[in-house]
Amino acid sequence: MAAQQIRTERLTLRPFTPDAIEAMMSGDALRLAAITTAAFPQPLSPPPLMEDVFPMIRQRLLADPAQEGWWAWVVIRRDTGQAVGSVGFGGPPDGDGAVVMGYATYPGFEGSGFASEAAAGLLQWAMQQSTVKRVAATIPPWNEKSIRVAEKIGMHRVGGIWDEEVGDVLLFAADKKT
């Protein structure tokens, strides 16, 4: 399934393709802008929390192009064409129809509602997919801004889990209405 783009009131979300990820990782800002139609903050760097996972995402998309949309999306301001962050999932839905969502903004774009708007758009897109029954987010208890984003987009705290890298995290989720 090719996920072209998601449009919200102020934003356009486009999946990071293998070519866009390669351009980002190699520091080729002109090629990245041509592929994504977005201007990225300089010096060029992956969106927050994406640097370590971009190579793996690129490999997964090259191996299975149908996974486009189930990984990282670039978040672009429609009025300026500026990349303000990213949203995405940790891969396609699991056997129970669950996907795990993440979101982050580049420094300087926090507090403008971009993360909430982009996450809401991605949540809506996911709920329109027949294979999705639940969208979840794991959030460290100290990350109040991320918790507010989850709550703003209609997620509810459903428990907690242990994350090997972070420790105890809160689990938020939104279930598809049946």
Q: Is 47 exposed, middle or buried (0-12, 13-18, 19+ CB in 10 A)?
A: buried
Query: Measured between alpha carbons, how far is 138 from 161 in angstroms, rounded to an integer?
Result: 8
* Domain limits, the chain: 6-133
In contact, 87 and 13? CB cutoff 8 Å: yes
- Looking at 3.40.630.30, 3.20.20.70, 3.30.70.1230, 1.20.120.140, the CATH number of the domain 6-133 comes to 3.40.630.30
pLDDT at 163: 86
pLDDT digits (tens, 9 = 90+) for 123-177: 999 999 999 999 999 999 999 999 999 999 999 999 999 988 888 999 999 999 8
pLDDT digits (tens, 9 = 90+) for 96-137: 999 999 999 999 999 999 999 999 999 999 999 999 999 999
Global pTM? 0.94
Task: From 142, 65, 139, select the one nearest 103 (Cα to Cα).
Answer: 139
What the block records as the tokens of 23 is 């351009």
